């Protein structure tokens, strides 16, 4: 059962770290609202590829880290990420076998759900104004997903991540 031994863990964590940096990197004001949710996309990829290793609790931990980095109330992104990754882990078989465009659409829906949950928790606990720009990241994620998927799959095969 040597295949059950984890391999290339550092690759996964490195990709998550890079995604985290992309998530907090400065962007021109014009495109700031369109920033894809990089961290969520990468964790969705790993949850889809290796659901038995990277799943809800990984997402939760990354969510807490992102909350701290963004200065948001602790737990908001942790909550949203674990819910979204739960949905992905539940349907990982189906998601994997969808054609790329359908997969991208579903991932974009997940990103929209993620942003909606964040808005909702923010609205309930603190205060927030609803703005349509909330859904911009879903659009940009839709466009970025096929490329990201392709890159991460190459990385996964290259380093034999299991």
Partner 1 sequence: MKPIFVRGISNQFRLTLAVIMSVILLVANDRLEPVRNSLSSLLSPLQYIANIPGVILDESAESLATRNMLARQNKELLRQQLLMSERLQRFEHLRQENDRLRGLLGSPVHMDAKKVVAEVMEVASDPFHQYVVLNRGSRSSVYVGQPVVDAQGVVGQVVQVSELTSRVLLLSDISHGIPVRITRNDVRMMAVGTGSIDELELRHVAKSTDVRAGDLLVTSGLGKRFPEGYPVARVMTVKKDDGKNYATVIAQPLAALDRIRYLLLIWPDIAADAAELITPAGVEEALNAIKESAQ
Residues that bind partner 1 in the complex, under the rule CB under 8 A: 3-4, 17, 20-21, 23-27, 29, 32-33, 35, 51-52, 55-57, 59-60, 63-65, 68-76, 78-79, 82-83, 86, 89-90, 93, 119, 121-122, 125-129
Under 8 Å between Cβ of 16 and 155 = no
Query: What angle is formed at CA 83 by the lines to CA 77 and CA 49, rounded to 5 degrees?
Result: 105
Q: Please, what is the minimum distance in Å from the beta carbon of residue 101 to partner 1?
A: 26
User: Hey, how many other C-beta atoms are within 10 angstroms of the C-beta on 10?
Assistant: 11
Tokens of 80: 């949203």
Backbone angles phi, psi at 97, to 5 degrees: -95, 0
| Of residues 99 and 129, the one with the C-beta less far from partner 1 | 129
Q: Please, what is the minimum distance in Å from the beta carbon of residue 73 to partner 1?
A: 5
| Of residues 57 and 158, the one with the C-beta less far from partner 1 | 57
| Of residues 86 and 159, the one with the C-beta less far from partner 1 | 86
Under 8 Å between Cβ of 103 and 145 = yes
């Amino acid at each position: 059962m040597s295949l059950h031994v984890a391999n290339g863990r550092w690759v996964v964590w490195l990709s998550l770290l890079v995604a985290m940096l992309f998530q907090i990197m400065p962007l021109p004001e014009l495109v700031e609202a369109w920033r894809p949710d990089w961290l969520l996309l990468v964790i969705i990829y790993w949850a889809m590829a290796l659901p038995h290793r990277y799943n809800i609790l990984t997402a939760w931990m990354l969510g807490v880290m992102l909350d701290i980095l963004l200065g948001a109330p602790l737990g908001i992104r942790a909550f949203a990420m674990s819910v979204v990754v739960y949905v992905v882990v539940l349907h990982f078989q189906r998601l994997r076998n969808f054609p790329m465009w359908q997969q991208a659409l579903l991932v974009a829906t997940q990103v929209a759900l993620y942003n909606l949950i964040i808005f909702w928790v923010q609205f309930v606990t603190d205060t927030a104004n609803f703005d349509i720009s909330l859904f911009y990241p879903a659009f940009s994620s839709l466009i970025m997903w096929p490329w990201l998927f392709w890159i991460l799959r190459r990385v996964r095969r290259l380093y034999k991540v299991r």
